[in-house]
């Protein structure tokens, strides 16, 4: 069971930035998606990887 969750969270489809963001979110996929959606709402032309990177940067600034 744990392996399925691991592969779901860290599968090939997610970028390194998404994996790092998910780690910051303690595995909370919904939180990660909300943070990415917030960044895309601010700048609609961002790729998912860039939005993940931006969310990590914002997390670092806000903490």
Inform me whether the pLDDT recorded for 14 exceeds 70: no
Of 23, 26, 21, 12, give the one whose Cα is nearest residue 50.
21
Give the pLDDT of residue 4: 52
pLDDT at 25 over 80: yes
- Give percent of the chain above pLDDT 70: 78
DSSP state of 43: S
pTM of the model: 0.75
By the 8 A CB rule, do 18 and 52 touch?
yes
- Whether 15 and 52 have beta carbons less than 8 Å apart is answered as yes
């Amino acid at each position: 069971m744990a392996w399925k969750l691991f592969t779901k969270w860290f599968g090939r489809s997610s970028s390194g930035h998404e994996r790092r963001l998910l780690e910051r979110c303690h595995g909370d996929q919904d939180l990660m998606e909300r943070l990415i959606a917030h960044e895309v709402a601010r700048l609609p032309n961002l790729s998912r990887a860039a939005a993940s990177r931006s969310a990590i940067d914002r997390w670092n600034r806000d903490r």
